[in-house]
Amino acid sequence: MYFAIFKSVSSFGNGANPVFSSQWIQIFGAQLSKLPVNESLSVTAGTFKAKITAQSILLSNMEIFTGLFWQALIIAFALLLYHPVKIAVRNII
């Protein structure tokens, strides 16, 4: 019976990303050996929710630092060009 349930749950990932499918089968199989089927599904889903949350936090941090990089680059160019522009304006006036 457990094999039939495991096989039907394992086929859940056939149309999905193969990485997701293999990780799902691995985590679900490990949980199924310790817990009943419903709890195994719940724990596996909770594990994936935690992984997705961690990746989304990492992605948001990366976007923040990308924005800070561009802001710092613009400020650096402004500071580098300030002195020559100041001299050029002084010479014109």
For 4-34, write each residue's pLDDT tens digit.
555 555 555 555 678 778 888 888 888 888 8
Scan for tokens 């923040």, then name that residue.
64
Task: Give the span between the Cα atoms of 8 and 35, in whole angstroms.
Answer: 17
Q: What is the pLDDT of residue 11?
A: 55
The predicted-structure confidence for 38-89, as pLDDT tens digits, reads as follows 888 889 889 889 988 888 888 888 888 888 999 999 999 999 998 888 888 8
Q: What is the pLDDT of residue 1?
A: 47
Give residues with Cβ within 8 angstroms of 60, minimum separation 6. none
Helix %, strand %, coil % for the chain, to 5? 90, 0, 10
